[in-house]
Structure 1
Amino acid sequence: MLAIGLMSGTSVDGIDAALVEISDRQGILTTNLLAGHTYEYDADLRKEILAVCAGEPRSLQQICELDDRIAESFAQAAIAIMEKGDHLPDLIGSHGQTVFHRPPANQKMGYTMQLGRGALIAELTGIKTVSDFRVADIEVGGQGAPLVPMVDALLLSHPNKYRACQNIGGISNVTYLPPNAGSIPEQIFGFDNGAGNVLMDMATQKLFGQPFDRDGAIARQGKPNLDLINQWLEQEFFATTPPKSTGRELFSPTYLEKCLSEFQGLSNYDILATLTEFTARAIAKSYHDFLPVFPEEVLVGGGGGRNGYLMERLQDLLKPAIVQRTDAFGLSGDSKEAIAFAVLGYLRIKERYGNLPSVTGAKRSVLLGKIFP
């Protein structure tokens, strides 16, 4: 089956699109990435998304109009990527754009909202579309996140090695894969484990006028303040036992401003080095605190995998594990999440469960996503 996966994460830096060939042999899935590309949001649209994510008030009409604008952008990305193939895809799996995420707490059901309605994407592309993946897990008591662990288990588990699949997008999250995890899903473990790129990106934009710290070249010139990092790692989120998820509701511009107010006497290079080290140490701390067995291999996907300095810090902090990008294991790190939503769309069409209760805390396995013919 030929599928398109569409994803825009917490960094709101654009729409990742992947054209993927999915092969299914007796329930064993393999994928072949035919094309992958990131399509930037229009600057005004990105500004509006970030404003809504930051909690700025908007009327219901404005939210509905934003929903349509995001769907139109996702449809344009799908049309652009499908032109790289030689025939029409069978389906689109679209994550949409998260603008609000509230994990369940104190017997209160969680809530999540992804804009970019699938019905409009299906209408504009003429391709069957699956979207709104997170809601079904929320409705059975889950966090609605992370969802990629199911795909990690299907595509990246090893018959006799302990692996951790570490995604570093705007938010970082991990999937713990014991040997032969694909056949024992109840032993798969995963959770959001930190801020990922979001604080680093916001700080780079604010302090250096650049969209992100390419290869970690700026942070590499500074010296991290470990006292501040250790203080931040005592915050409730990092001590909370999984399942757990987070987003811009916690790691927000206000959160960054509070961090910046504590950086007295540090250079801008030191600030970025400290935020980079914070991301790395939050990941390492979560492994030591929560993973049943320390992994032999750490497979990194997402934009953070292209930050050479961050990867060096992870390799140092996660010894003796070997830290590599997922590309070394046959899965594009840049397109991994888009590939994941193509696969989740495929699972929905085939009426196969898409969530892992051991990861999200849901009461049971459920079908994820709504289908729009």
Structure 2
Amino acid sequence: MRVIGLMSGTSHDAIDAAAADLTLDGDTLVLTPLGLISAGYDDGLRAALAEALPPAGTTLAAVCRLDTRIGQAFADAAVRADRELCGGRADLIASHGQTVYHWAEDGRVLGTLQIGEPAWIAEATGRAVVSGFRTRDVAAGGQGAPLVSLVDVLWLRGRPGVPVALNLGGIANVTVADGGSGEPLAFDTGPANALIDAAVAESAGGGAAYSMDVDGALAARGSVHRPLLRRLLDEPYYAKPAPKTTGKEVFHLPYLRAALAGFGPLPTEDVVATLTRLTARTVADAVRPFGATEVIASGGGTRNPVLMALLREELGGVPLRTSDELGLPSAAKEAYAFAVLGWLTAHGLPGTVPSCTGARRPGVLGSVTPGGPGLRLPEPVATAPTRLTVSATGNTGPFTGR
């Protein structure tokens, strides 16, 4: 089955569309990468999205417009991916959508909202679309995140020691193959790029346009401000037990401004250097108790050499590598993960690990929007795969940029 996974993360800079050929071979799901396209949101849509995100206020009219425009942008990306990566022969689309709010109180997630109406995708492609993945896990008592944990568990199974998968998006999350009791564990460690991006955007005038520390250039020129780092590390979230989840509802520009209060003007380079060290420190502190024997990173943060160098330093002797070394392109890993989750849903199989999300039971995730006339899904599979392998013969290209 050829599945296109669509993903836009907490950095809300672009839509990643990764195509995969997925085949069940006994108890192993074989993923053959067919390539990735990355389509940036246009400046107007990106600005409108940024202006509506917490802690800013918004209106139902703005949410409706964003839901429609993001759905149309996802549809355009899916059409391109089907044409350029699948030769027009995709069987299924799996859309994560764009997270705009994750409702958490007292350590419990009470709701979550991803927008990007799937009907636009189904209409444009003529393919069935699986979407709304997170809500079902929340309804079962889970955190709704990190949903890539099941894919990580299948993928890391059989590796020696205690491998840890790390994703460095706006928020950093980890999956620990063995959380100490024989069960895997997954959780958000805190900000990866979220606060760094906020600091860079603020230094550029506080505009809503997406901004980042390209290649870690600002962090490389700055010095860590130790008092600011100590204040940031006092954030209560870091001490909470897993499973736990967080997002830009917490780690946003006003949060950073509050942390900077009382220090006087600091050079942007020093602020970014401090925030980059914060990400490295909190990730290392999160994985250290589990005796990790390797950390396998993916996501946009892997393109920041300063962050990766600081992570290696904070992890001590624990090897840090990228998912590319294991055959799964780091830029596309989350999109491929949602392609797998869509495949599982289409076959009537659960897409969660309760020990990772905190749900009462594994759940079949998402809702299905029909594509063309009628709705034909594959026959349910009686036994879920127990491992995932990435085909060495897979075509990891082409990559089409923004």
RMSD: 2.0
CA distance in structure 1 between the aligned counterparts of 2:167 and 2:262, rounded to whole angstroms? 28
Alignment equivalent of 1:347, drawn from 344, 368, 389: 344
Residues 205-232 of structure 1, C-alpha deviations (whole Å, 9 max, x = no match): 3225782112212201111123322332
Match of 1:361 in 2: 358
SS at match of 1:371: strand
CA distance in structure 2 between the aligned counterparts of 1:200 and 1:52, rounded to whole angstroms? 20
CA distance in structure 1 between the aligned counterparts of 2:56 and 2:228, rounded to whole angstroms? 29
Residues 124-146 of structure 1, C-alpha deviations (whole Å, 9 max, x = no match): 21111000000001001111111
**Offset, 1:45:** 1.0
CA distance in structure 2 between the aligned counterparts of 1:114 and 1:196, rounded to whole angstroms? 20
Residues 34-90 of structure 1, C-alpha deviations (whole Å, 9 max, x = no match): 111210001111111112212433332332222111110000001111112224211
Superposition pairs for residues 1-373 of structure 1, below 5 Å?
Answer: 1-84=1-84, 85-103=86-104, 105=106, 110-178=110-178, 187-207=183-203, 211-264=211-264, 266-288=266-288, 291=289, 293-373=290-370
Worse-superposed segment, 204-213 or 166-175:
204-213
Determine if contact 2:20/2:32 at 8 Å carries over to the other structure. yes
The answer to which structure, 1 or 2, has the higher relative contact order (CA under 8 A, 6+ apart) is 2
Determine if contact 1:29/1:155 at 8 Å carries over to the other structure. no
Counterpart of 1:77 in structure 2: which amino acid?
A
CA distance in structure 1 between the aligned counterparts of 2:244 and 2:37, rounded to whole angstroms? 30
Structure 2 vs 1, CA of residues 27 and 118 (structure 1 numbering), >3 Å: closer, same or farther?
A: farther
Counterpart of 1:201 in structure 2: which amino acid?
D
**Offset, 1:263:** 4.3
Structure 2 vs 1, CA of residues 161 and 246 (structure 1 numbering), >3 Å: closer, same or farther?
A: same
The two structures have a TM-score, normalised by structure 1, of 0.93
**Offset, 1:256:** 2.0
Counterpart of 1:100 in structure 2: which amino acid?
Y
Counterpart of 2:18 in structure 1: which amino acid?
A
Counterpart of 1:27 in structure 2: which amino acid?
D
Structure 2 vs 1, CA of residues 127 and 308 (structure 1 numbering), >3 Å: closer, same or farther?
A: same
**Offset, 1:116:** 0.8
SS at match of 1:242: coil
Counterpart of 1:95 in structure 2: which amino acid?
H
Structure 2 vs 1, CA of residues 316 and 262 (structure 1 numbering), >3 Å: closer, same or farther?
A: farther
CA distance in structure 2 between the aligned counterparts of 1:109 and 1:235, rounded to whole angstroms? 19
**Offset, 1:161:** 2.5
Determine if contact 1:223/1:274 at 8 Å carries over to the other structure. yes
Residues 93-126 of structure 1, C-alpha deviations (whole Å, 9 max, x = no match): 10000111013537x6611000012233112211
Count the aligned residue pairs. Answer: 365
CA distance in structure 2 between the aligned counterparts of 1:145 and 1:24, rounded to whole angstroms? 25
SS at match of 2:90: coil
Counterpart of 1:187 in structure 2: which amino acid?
E
Counterpart of 1:274 in structure 2: which amino acid?
T
Structure 2 vs 1, CA of residues 32 and 294 (structure 1 numbering), >3 Å: closer, same or farther?
A: same
Counterpart of 1:136 in structure 2: which amino acid?
R
Counterpart of 2:80 in structure 1: which amino acid?
A
CA distance in structure 2 between the aligned counterparts of 1:62 and 1:208, rounded to whole angstroms? 25
Counterpart of 2:22 in structure 1: which amino acid?
I
Determine if contact 1:152/1:165 at 8 Å carries over to the other structure. yes
User: What 5-or-longer segments of structure 2 have no aligned partner?
Assistant: 371-402
SS at match of 2:97: strand
Counterpart of 1:369 in structure 2: which amino acid?
G
Residues 213-271 of structure 1, C-alpha deviations (whole Å, 9 max, x = no match): 12212201111123322332222111111111011100112112223335436322111
Determine if contact 2:228/2:260 at 8 Å carries over to the other structure. no
CA distance in structure 2 between the aligned counterparts of 1:166 and 1:109, rounded to whole angstroms? 22
CA distance in structure 1 between the aligned counterparts of 2:270 and 2:356, rounded to whole angstroms? 35
Counterpart of 2:217 in structure 1: which amino acid?
A
